[in-house]
């Protein structure tokens, strides 16, 4: 296979972790006989500095001409002024909108070797293997808003959803549940929010009509926040709107012990020349400016995001499983970056961890 991957390293530790993921993809190409071409672009704070825009037109064209996009992270103290007209996060939201990436998949699967990396008891974590599907282009992040002014000091953001938006992400989540253990938990705040009442009604109707074989459960978002800590193994696929999904997946990352371990895939309806979704793949962690440039960031979430890229945008399941198995082998051998170093046999830096995964491949 020949494939073009757009790489957007971004800010902070983004360039460090994407470098390792690219090397892993190159190793996959060599082992399995594929040719991957990597094209680099600017997104986020670095794009503001270089081009005066968090999402330059060149980056959009680069991504649209690629089979998939690999992203590092955006943001940092340099661009944190909330009154600024341009912020790094605008680039991230913008590329999701331009590419039509309406669903974010965030798997949370416990690695046996890291059972003690979490602050939760091992017996609570036993059997955790869940997938959070987050709606990505609607809700409060994209609805009508107003910034406060010196004159009125009033601001608002609007959680806006339509039936088609809810239906398409529900179908994707339900199909994933059907291929896993057949259970879907839909998260909302229907006891308070009108948009959540629509969400619950549409999810219920669609599941009854199209996925009667998948068990459906409705869970209020505050209850889900509690259940993820108390009984996380009870869930299979969790479906949530944009804001709720954002918060809950950061919470769920602590089940695995570190945000540096969890990948994500953002998918839309547009297909690439391989007949697969042109997705965007990124670790769920931020730019971690406090450790940027020190060579200690955990690259495994980005490497596992590259595995999701192989699976969802290139249709290379065996190759994706090979990357995941290599990561498991490295962790089983006792290698750890500082964020998961408790009781480790060997603490290594970003480059050494990436090289160890390549060696296993």
Distances in whole angstroms, Cα of residue 138 to Cα of each of 45, 49, 101, 290, 349: 24, 28, 10, 31, 38
Which residue out of 102, 141, 161, 235 is catalytically annotated?
141
Q: How far is CA 205 from CA 200, 217, 243, in A?
A: 9, 13, 23
Question: Residue 59 in contact with residue 47, Cβ under 8 Å?
Answer: yes
Q: Is 339 a catalytic residue?
A: no
CA distance 24 to 307: 9
Smallest CA-to-CA distance from 55 within 95, 84, 100, 85 is with: 95
From residue 100, give the alpha-carbon distance in Å to each of 28, 123, 268, 272: 28, 40, 5, 13
Indicate if 236 belongs to the active site.
no
d(CA 282, CA 279): 10
- 151 counts as catalytic: no
Q: Which residue in 189, 235, 236, 339 is the catalytic one?
A: 189
User: Is 102 one of the annotated active-site residues of the chain?
Assistant: no
Query: Catalytic site residue 246?
Result: yes
Quick one: angle between helices 300-312 and 317-332, nearest 10?
160
Q: Where are the alpha helices (DSSP H) in 143-210?
A: 163-179, 194-210
Tokens 């253990």 correspond to 181
**Tokens coding 291:** 């450790």
- In whole angstroms, how large is the CA radius of gyration of the chain? 20
- CB–CB of 318/34 below 8 Å? no
Q: What is the DSSP letter of 9?
A: E
Strands 280-283 and 237-240: unpaired
- The SS3 call for residue 99 is helix
Residues designated as active site: 141, 189, 222, 246, 250
């Amino acid at each position: 296979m020949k494939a073009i991957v757009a790489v957007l390293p971004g800010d902070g530790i983004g360039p460090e972790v994407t470098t390792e993921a690219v090397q892993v993809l190159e190793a996959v190409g060599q082992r399995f006989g594929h040719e991957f071409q990597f094209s680099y672009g600017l997104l986020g704070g670095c794009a503001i500095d270089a081009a005066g825009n968090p999402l330059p037109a060149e980056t959009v064209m680069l991504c649209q001409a690629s089979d998939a996009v690999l992203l590092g992270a955006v943001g940092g103290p340099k661009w944190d002024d909330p009154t600024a007209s341009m912020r790094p996060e605008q680039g991230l939201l913008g590329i999701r909108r331009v590419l039509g990436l309406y669903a974010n998949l965030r798997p949370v699967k416990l690695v046996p070797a890291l059972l003690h990396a979490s602050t939760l008891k091992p017996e609570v974590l036993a059997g955790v293997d869940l997938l959070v599907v987050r709606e990505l282009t609607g809700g409060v992040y994209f609805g009508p808003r107003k910034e406060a002014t010196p004159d009125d000091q009033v601001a608002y953001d609007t959680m806006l959803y339509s039936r088609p938006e809810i239906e398409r992400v529900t179908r994707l989540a339900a199909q994933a549940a059907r291929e896993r253990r057949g259970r879907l938990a839909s998260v909302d705040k229907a006891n308070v929010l009108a948009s959540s009442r629509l969400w619950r009604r549409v999810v219920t109707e669609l599941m009854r009509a199209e996925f009667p074989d998948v068990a459906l459960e409705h869970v209020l978002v505050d209850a889900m926040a509690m259940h993820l800590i108390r009984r996380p193994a009870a869930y299979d696929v969790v479906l949530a709107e944009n804001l709720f999904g954002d918060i809950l997946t950061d919470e769920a990352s602590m089940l695995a012990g570190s945000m540096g371990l969890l990948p994500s895939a953002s998918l839309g309806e547009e297909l690439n020349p391989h007949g697969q979704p042109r997705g965007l793949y990124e670790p769920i962690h931020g730019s971690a400016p406090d450790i940027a440039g020190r060579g200690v960031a955990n690259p495994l979430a980005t490497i596992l995001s590259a595995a999701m890229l192989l699976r969802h945008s290139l249709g290379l399941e065996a190759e994706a499983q090979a990357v995941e198995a290599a990561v498991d082998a490295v962790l089983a051998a006792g290698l750890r970056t500082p964020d998961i170093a408790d009781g480790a046999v060997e603490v290594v830096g970003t480059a050494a961890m990436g090289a160890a995964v390549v060696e296993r491949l």
